[in-house]
Amino acid sequence: MIDLMALNWLAILIATAVAFVLGGLWYGPLFGQAWMDALGKTEDDIEPTPMPFVISFFTAALTCIAVAVLMLAVGISTVLGGALFGLAVGIGFIATAMASDCAFCGWGMRLFLIQAGYRVAYSVLMGAIIGAF
């Protein structure tokens, strides 16, 4: 049984914040236009509201907590080990589940790569940050 009090909550908070900031960069200057093109939308089609940002923050936090719990359970406590663990989680669980969604929802490969790429990248960062602590 994992003791949630044994988790490094500061590392989890920092990793969650880093993932959230990465999302702003990813869907902004890095891939924002490609993402909108893949969605078939323009900036005028997107009405910004706080709810997607709130949901994104909390889902990143839950992912980070899960990564921290799993890393504690298997005894990973280095930056490299955490980054590799995050890569395994990102590709092995998140991207593969998203590939199934992609197939059923009819997303194009470009949209899948942007969406899954973000989650794999943030999983790597989460693992590295948690491993650093």
CA atoms within 13 A on the CB side of 24: 8
Angstrom distances, CA of residue 20 to CA of 1, 27, 97, 126: 29, 11, 21, 11
- At 3 the pLDDT is 86
Three-state DSSP state, 42: coil
What gap in Å lies between CA 59 and CA 42, rounded to an integer?
Answer: 25
Helices (H), the chain: 9-25, 32-39, 50-74, 79-89, 96-105, 109-132
What gap in Å lies between CA 109 and CA 103, rounded to an integer?
Answer: 10
State yes or no: pLDDT of 131 exceeds 80. Answer: yes
pLDDT tens-digit profile of 12-67?
999 999 999 999 999 999 999 999 999 999 988 888 899 999 999 999 999 999 99
- At 18 the pLDDT is 98
| Arithmetic mean of pLDDT, 3-7 | 91
133: number of Cβ within 10 Å: 16
Query: Is the CB of residue 123 less than 8 Å from the CB of residue 94?
Result: yes
Query: Is the CB of residue 67 less than 8 Å from the CB of residue 89?
Result: yes
Q: Which position has the token pair 């197939």? A: 103
